[in-house]
Amino acid sequence: MFSLPLPLLGLSLLFSIGLCVHVVRTHREMFWLWIILIFQPLGGIVYLAAVIVPELLGGKTARNVGKAARQALDPQREYREAARAVDDAPTVANRVRMATAATELGKHAEAEQLYADSLTGMYADDAQLLLGRANALIELNRPAEALPLLEKLGEQPNAGRTPHTMLALGRVYHALGREEQADTALSWAADHYPGFEGIARYTVFLARQGRKDEARAKLAEIDKRLSKTHSHFRKEAKSWRDLAASAVG
């Protein structure tokens, strides 16, 4: 079993104790104490990256690093905090935050209900809420209910032809057997959607339509783009690539 030399062990202990003091003084979650003390010195390094570095540096990049580290250690944290915010003040903004967190955890039924509860009054035509609910309904395999929401979005000049709306529309058309319309929407989304989801879903569509040569060409395009993708985004990108590859066979 690997163990640190005695002098380094002493330094690791002092380092960990100092971080534990920071946890207590800044009122951080108590699970950090266990992480820092049990997994010395790696637990302390994680705490530095997740909490202290973002505090010292500020800025969007540093905050994103901290958020990613916290999310990896406690995936439910944002959902819990969003739920508390809704309990304290059930505003539309807080409901949307909770719906987004629920979606990240695969709680699509809960997300759909939160969006539905928010689509009232002055927010009845809100583009973010309409698209959010439509996507939740798609994940719940209720495309017929999602279509009117997307058609309502289509009546809004700035919201009806965005990559996210077109991707959702293509998925709905495909689920309803309206393949020509699905092809048009998914093809457009593949060319305009940020990241890899749009092109991956279009590749899957092509493969399921028996258009294997076109699907393979799209998969090759994904591989080319993936080779140029920054390592920070490669894990998510590869998951979409794997989805496309499994359909192509």
Residue 218 predicted with pLDDT over 90: yes
How many Cα atoms are found within 13 Å in the side-chain-facing hemisphere of 14? Answer: 6
| Average of per-residue pLDDT values in the chain | 86
DSSP label at residue 107: -
Residue 76 predicted with pLDDT over 70: yes
What's the average model confidence in pLDDT over 54-80?
Answer: 62
Residue 146 predicted with pLDDT over 80: yes
- Full-prediction pTM beyond 0.75? no
pLDDT band at 20 (very low <50, low <70, confident <90, very high): confident
pLDDT in tens, 168-191: 999 999 999 999 999 999 999 999
Please check whether residue 143 is in contact with residue 121, taking contact to mean a CB–CB distance below 8 angstroms. no
Tell me the C-alpha distance between 154 and 69, whole Å: 38
Reading the block at residue 67, the tokens are 């958020």
Residue 5 predicted with pLDDT over 80: no
**pLDDT at 205 (0 to 100):** 97
